Structure 1
Amino acid sequence: MPIVQFAPLNSLVEPPFWHALTDFKIDVLRLDDTAVPVTASYSAGRSVKDRETGREISLGCNLSVNGDAYKEDLQLPPHSVPVTGIFKNFNTIEDFKAADKTVLFNSVADEIWKSIIEDRSTAQLSRFLLITFADLKKYKYYYWFAFPAFVAKPAWVIDDDWKAADEEFSEDALVAIQQDLHTNPRPFFLIRTSSGKLELAPVESYDTFFAEVPSEQRTIGFLDPSAAPSNPGWPLRNLLAYLRAVHPASTSKLRVICWRDTELPGEGHWRSRVGVLSQAAGASAEAHAKPGAVGWEKNVQGKLAPRMADLAPMMDPTRLADQAVDLNLKLMRWRILPALDLEKVARTRCLLLGAGTLGCYVARTLMGWGVRTITFVDSARVSFSNPVRQPLFEFEDCLGGGKPKAACAAERLKKIFPGINATGHSLNIPMPGHPIPPASLDQTRRDVETLEKLIDEHDAVFLLMDSRESRWLPTVIGAAKGKIVMNAALGFDTFLVMRHGPRASSSAPSGDTGTGSRRLGCYYCNDVVAPADSLTDRTLDQMCTVTRPGLAPIAAATAVELLVSLVQHPDGLHAPAPPPQSATEAVEGHATESVLGLVPHQLRGFLAQFRTLPVAGAAYDRCTGCSETVLRAYETQGFDMLVRAFGEPGFLESLTGLDKLSEEVEAAMENADWEQEDEDDF
């Protein structure tokens, strides 16, 4: 009699599994190479008919692994059964190659045998092993499956040959089996006929279920992933080992049905196969020690070696970039800062007012932090002096009068990373000290409305302009709308980076709005005069921001890092500034810290000394930018108040009381008793 040849299992790994492995490695496993459970599935084997020859061609004996393999609530395909396995990922290709695969394989085989002998359970009969190494930079995944199956000695043989199921069972019996398995899918089952009625039961109930059934009427069934006419699938091997070990006295000869019909056959034949299997003389009649096991999967060349899945050629480059750009950030989180909320950073919508040297470097650093929404506002065009200092522009952008800076910068960000949501707006920002001509009043109103709308749609506003007065209007709007406002200004070898404090009428979650009980100030809180025209009659050196070339990227990076630290702080916009004693030494666990460290109010950099000094400045109740008087006037009077601020000298001083302060100072100076020194004393 011919020896039964079993069809080995083939792994069928769906691409979503590798994408899930990428996230699982970075977000969960990190450097942990401990084995974790994973779930796969298989269903009845399928075949297709060759149109030319009419022959049935088997589609293979497959175990499917999809993107939900790591989840406990795995959604199985219809008519499938789950299979649990062990997944072990190695951190380097060298570890993957050097792993003791025999030890790993035998440990899984031992678990299967233990479940047979001690638990008398079939739940682990198809248990598998998967070892991997994921090259996340190149999207190459090295993997090797093992499906341990016990070797029967002597081998199983088949009486006669495999037959179609409808030759051994009636049509009604086969339909009954199919309906039962549709309702309750199971990998292994028993079949008997009692009082003319066909019944199914779990294999674990072998003794009771077959107690009154003659041996020739007992049938062992399993869901067969193979579609080969004469080769039952791999799961049958361990089912036979289970029966021989647990019920040795009555299982030397078995009738087996390989169930392959998930649907009614229609006009065709039932695809399920039935055969009578037996072990030749010499088989033990008692439970025996664990037999040897085989089951490493061969690669596509038919050799016992790992396989490799290269997803890069199959993927959309844009999607590849989308998954790869944040790799450094994810590595940062799982290696150094597990509490880092990268999703919160990515969701922060940033408005950059100014697309010059600071704007370009701020945008690049924001992209490095994973920010996905960046909007530029600028009224200038790219000039020939720009590309060497402003990394988002090229020589071609200067031709023909130059492209609009804002739109050009947004377009360049998309070329760098197509997944970025970048837009540019050519917009003039009205400024105090620059009266609005009557003919331009309507256009100015539209510009202000556009700016208000943009600030309302974003979470953080960067003031990156090259004049003092151009920062006033967005300072007022940002404070009124409760937005994060970041300010960066450059000198020759000095810079200022600061975050504006929240308005006085807002409340901090912690009850603290600044350093102690002080509210943090804005860019204008140290001024005793309103911003005025600083642009008219400028000389050439004053028209350009004359700075050391390395200063702008330092200031830009500092501004972005300050924003990210602020976003990570639990109080966000209301995060207090560090106390003076922590200016040079962080106080661990202090309320001013985020997971990235301190969140200072201002940073003043001195490049000549290579020094950065944290400073905290209190808000000024007569400030022309963020005082409640100015904000309420803006909210109640709207554009009319702004027009007066732009064109009416002394309006902001009168509104905030700075004019009275000036008068008081002058009066005090006049009333001061100045001592006159005699000329002879010299």
Structure 2
Amino acid sequence: MASGCGEAGSAAADAKLQFAPFCSALEAGFWHQLTQKKLNDYRLDESPKCIKGYYYNGDPVGLPMRMTLEFSAFEADGPTPAHCCPAVGTLYNTNTLDAFKSTDKKGLLEKEAKEMWDAIQSGTAVKDPSILCKFILLTFADLKKYHFYYWFCFPALCFSEGIKIIQQPSPLDQVFSAKQITALQGAYDGLCTKMGATAVPYFLIKYSDDALLVAPIGDWEIFFTQSKKVTVGVYDPCTLSQHPGWPLRNLLVLLSYRWGATLETVEVLCFRDRTLQGSRSVHHSIIFQVKLPELPHNSACPKSVGWEKNPKGAMGPRMVNLSECMDPKRLAESSVDLNLKLMRWRLVPSLDLDKVVSTKCLLLGAGTLGCNVARTLMGWGVRRITFVDNAKISYSNPVRQPLYEFEDCLGGGKSKAMAAVDRLTKIFPGVNAEGYNMSIPMPGHPVNFSEATLSQAQRDVEQLEKLISEHDVIFLLMDTRESRWLPTVIAASKRKLVVNAALGFDTFVVMRHGLKKLRADQDTGEESSPSCASSSSSSSTPAGSAPPAPGSSLFSNIPGHRLGCYFCNDVVAPGDSTRDRTLDQQCTVSRPGLAMIAGALAVEMMVSILQHSEGGYAVASSSDDRMNEPPTSLGLVPHQIRGFLSRFDNVLPASLAFDKCTACSPIVLDNYKRDGFSFLSKVFNSSHAFLEDLTGLTLLHQETQAAEIWDMSDDESI
């Protein structure tokens, strides 16, 4: 029981009125909404925010008087639960626990009390008595541990000499007749309807044996014209039989300041509207009389109280720990998103996280690159990740491929695609991961003509087509050059964004493929031809390594739909790159840190592309753009990143699509669209000459050789 400011109890004749204080009731939904507001709206903003709570006057005896804040507290104009009285508050949410502790609580209380006192003096509180029911909430949200610190305050102005009780509180049914009680219920309901409110916090009452009238506080002058007796009503959430609740305090200060000089006593009715066994009853309301001390009009703002005591009964804040009662999966999701949202607060305010999180990623290859790409995607909050791989985990894998462990190698090894899915789910249960243990048919790797073999290859192609259609970004992360051909063709045909990563020993290439437009939308202009210096790339580099950058095909300001793909740099069609090769040439032998670097850059390139207004159609950034204004909030959007670990150097070349490309040229895509699997089976079962003849590379080779012979003969003639 709080009295405050000298309002100590005494003998009956000199009894001073005491008030039951509010107990804060902040529901879990409130903290959830505060979390969302902090992450998405407030961020580092510590300015005061308007919130709304409510209190109820129908609780059974024994319950404390509660000020409730729930998930709707941040909707200041939102609805209030039926039969509840709204209260407007001010939220001060601090960024650190130190700021929470060092906040000037006395200053906050005095500021709110001064505003209330000014409203009383100006008459604003007469027109809008809800001003007398305001509250303060000071908070700090530790969103890493889900610990919420808070301190609640209901500011109340104090009389220095207290309020003398003239007539002790009595149950309403000892003063009012049954007829008057019924009339009171009807009159109050009518007042609520008239004012469009779920509950009216303060009201005026006139009653006799035959009639009972109520009116809002603002009607004082016309309501009490001739009556010498003044009765005021307060919507009272207190359940104690001898004490009113906290909301009465500020009303009595208002009455004393505005009309205290003409009032000897004031009768107070604490209106309590309880439902018992389905029947409404106000019989437990109490009524009493008090003598108000006079407040001169030139008096300063009275002292104020109102900060809530902690559970130990001392003046101090409270803390609620929601980490134990929240679903661990929900906690994980919120925590995963926390780092990303923190990036927006100070560093990248314009970052569009929804574009990243909602992106569906298909990872073709679950080896060293695939594992690192998957982990980085999860770091960016990507929820949908699908693996395709037909290999099993070997003893050499776990040290380089972070999604696997030694136990995964036993018994012949688990499927990489399936094991990767299991590990991602253990790392973060909120991820939607799938795995497909399947092969990707490749040029130069003949498909037997038996019906069963052809049928399986066709099913693999159909499955790959379906997966590429269902995803937004396709990552090519395989070991061999030829395994990238089919997904490149399918993705180009379906106009899907492709991000390619390939490794050498101490070099890598990360690139985005040009994103094809509909033929009618293509702009005019000649496509580039690659340098003949790259013609030997398929035969001179180990499996999985990056083809060398073209020499004469480097340009600037290339729009995304005219950029080349992985195969545009070559004048040799893909074939079986592992045939007749030693073990070190069949495997991707790389410096151990290279895959982590390339995998991370592949994901970062994807995110930068998604942040560009034109997405995959964005103009390619080059090394020359490093000193210019970046096109996205995250920086450049290159076509290629070519890294040289021995020099610790990266370059950003950009090259045009090649009109004789064996993967993305119009003639290849037209044949694929027209003939489908029959065209693909010819590619699989033929040598590289088939694609070279189709695209015109054979003719290009012949013309090049003829030119070389002509040059040689000229030299000899000299």
**What is the TM-score normalised by the length of structure 1?**
0.92
Once the 2 structures are TM-superposed, how far is the Cα of residue 515 of structure 1 from its aligned partner? 4.5
Distance (Å, rounded) in 2 between the aligned partners of 1:172 and 1:507: 80
**Against the structure 1 CA distance between its residues 177 and 364, is the aligned structure 2 distance closer, same or farther, given a 3 Å change threshold?**
same
Once the 2 structures are TM-superposed, how far is the Cα of residue 667 of structure 1 from its aligned partner? 3.5
Match of 1:610 among 648, 651, 654: 648
- Any conservation in 2 of the 1:630–1:656 contact (CA below 8 Å)? yes
Distance (Å, rounded) in 2 between the aligned partners of 1:228 and 1:16: 29
Using the TM superposition, name which of 492-501 and 518-527 deviates more: 518-527
Show the 5 A alignment for 1:595-674.
Answer: 595-649=633-687, 650-672=689-711, 674=713
Show the 5 A alignment for 1:183-582.
Answer: 183=193, 184=197, 185-192=199-206, 198-212=212-226, 214-216=227-229, 218-261=230-273, 263=275, 270-279=282-291, 283-284=294-295, 288-439=299-450, 440-505=453-518, 515-516=556-557, 519-579=562-622, 581-582=624-625
Distance (Å, rounded) in 1 between the aligned partners of 2:278 and 2:31: 38
Distance (Å, rounded) in 2 between the aligned partners of 1:315 and 1:375: 29
Q: Which amino acid aligns with 1:85?
A: G
- Any conservation in 1 of the 2:167–2:289 contact (CA below 8 Å)? no
Q: Which amino acid aligns with 1:491?
A: G
**Against the structure 1 CA distance between its residues 28 and 415, is the aligned structure 2 distance closer, same or farther, given a 3 Å change threshold?**
same
Give the equivalent residue in structure 1 for 2:155. Answer: 148
Q: Secondary structure at the match of 1:325?
A: helix
- Any conservation in 1 of the 2:200–2:235 contact (CA below 8 Å)? yes
Q: Secondary structure at the match of 1:172?
A: helix
- Any conservation in 1 of the 2:154–2:307 contact (CA below 8 Å)? yes
* Pair 1:11 & 2:24 matched: yes
**Against the structure 1 CA distance between its residues 560 and 509, is the aligned structure 2 distance closer, same or farther, given a 3 Å change threshold?**
farther
Distance (Å, rounded) in 2 between the aligned partners of 1:425 and 1:287: 82
* Pair 1:173 & 2:183 matched: yes
Q: Which amino acid aligns with 1:617?
A: S
Once the 2 structures are TM-superposed, how far is the Cα of residue 198 of structure 1 from its aligned partner? 4.0
Using the TM superposition, name which of 603-612 and 3-12 deviates more: 3-12
Once the 2 structures are TM-superposed, how far is the Cα of residue 673 of structure 1 from its aligned partner? 5.7
- Any conservation in 2 of the 1:150–1:293 contact (CA below 8 Å)? yes
Q: Secondary structure at the match of 1:570?
A: coil
Distance (Å, rounded) in 1 between the aligned partners of 2:523 and 2:235: 61
- Give per-residue Cα distances to partners, 1:259-289, cap 9 Å, x unaligned: 2216487668534423232226x64576743
- Any conservation in 2 of the 1:372–1:421 contact (CA below 8 Å)? yes
Distance (Å, rounded) in 2 between the aligned partners of 1:467 and 1:358: 13
Distance (Å, rounded) in 2 between the aligned partners of 1:131 and 1:533: 68
Distance (Å, rounded) in 2 between the aligned partners of 1:252 and 1:487: 88
- Any conservation in 2 of the 1:345–1:567 contact (CA below 8 Å)? yes
* Pair 1:82 & 2:93 matched: no
- Any conservation in 1 of the 2:156–2:250 contact (CA below 8 Å)? yes
Once the 2 structures are TM-superposed, how far is the Cα of residue 194 of structure 1 from its aligned partner? 9.4
Identical-pair percentage: 49
- Any conservation in 2 of the 1:255–1:274 contact (CA below 8 Å)? no
Q: Secondary structure at the match of 1:435?
A: coil
- Any conservation in 2 of the 1:41–1:65 contact (CA below 8 Å)? yes
Distance (Å, rounded) in 2 between the aligned partners of 1:629 and 1:661: 16
**Against the structure 1 CA distance between its residues 466 and 251, is the aligned structure 2 distance closer, same or farther, given a 3 Å change threshold?**
farther
**Against the structure 1 CA distance between its residues 286 and 560, is the aligned structure 2 distance closer, same or farther, given a 3 Å change threshold?**
closer
Structure 1 unaligned runs (5+)?
A: 48-56
Give the equivalent residue in structure 1 for 2:536. Answer: none
**Against the structure 1 CA distance between its residues 632 and 197, is the aligned structure 2 distance closer, same or farther, given a 3 Å change threshold?**
farther
- Give per-residue Cα distances to partners, 1:153-173, cap 9 Å, x unaligned: 432233443233334152431
Q: How many residues align?
A: 662
**Against the structure 1 CA distance between its residues 154 and 488, is the aligned structure 2 distance closer, same or farther, given a 3 Å change threshold?**
same
Give the equivalent residue in structure 2 for 1:58. Answer: 62
- Any conservation in 1 of the 2:205–2:231 contact (CA below 8 Å)? yes
Using the TM superposition, name which of 497-506 and 292-301 deviates more: 497-506
- Any conservation in 1 of the 2:558–2:619 contact (CA below 8 Å)? no
Once the 2 structures are TM-superposed, how far is the Cα of residue 510 of structure 1 from its aligned partner? 12
- Any conservation in 2 of the 1:479–1:502 contact (CA below 8 Å)? yes
**Against the structure 1 CA distance between its residues 346 and 268, is the aligned structure 2 distance closer, same or farther, given a 3 Å change threshold?**
closer
Give the equivalent residue in structure 2 for 1:53. Answer: none
Distance (Å, rounded) in 2 between the aligned partners of 1:675 and 1:510: 41
* Pair 1:157 & 2:164 matched: yes
**Against the structure 1 CA distance between its residues 38 and 511, is the aligned structure 2 distance closer, same or farther, given a 3 Å change threshold?**
farther
**Against the structure 1 CA distance between its residues 581 and 268, is the aligned structure 2 distance closer, same or farther, given a 3 Å change threshold?**
closer
Distance (Å, rounded) in 1 between the aligned partners of 2:328 and 2:596: 29
**What is the TM-score normalised by the length of structure 2?**
0.87
Give the equivalent residue in structure 1 for 2:130. Answer: 123
Q: Which amino acid aligns with 2:80?
A: L
> Root-mean-square deviation (CA), in Å?
2.5
Distance (Å, rounded) in 2 between the aligned partners of 1:509 and 1:187: 69
Q: Secondary structure at the match of 2:682?
A: helix
Distance (Å, rounded) in 2 between the aligned partners of 1:494 and 1:95: 49
Structure 2 unaligned runs (5+)?
A: 1-12, 528-554
Give the equivalent residue in structure 1 for 2:628. Answer: 587
Distance (Å, rounded) in 2 between the aligned partners of 1:125 and 1:180: 22
Once the 2 structures are TM-superposed, how far is the Cα of residue 617 of structure 1 from its aligned partner? 0.9
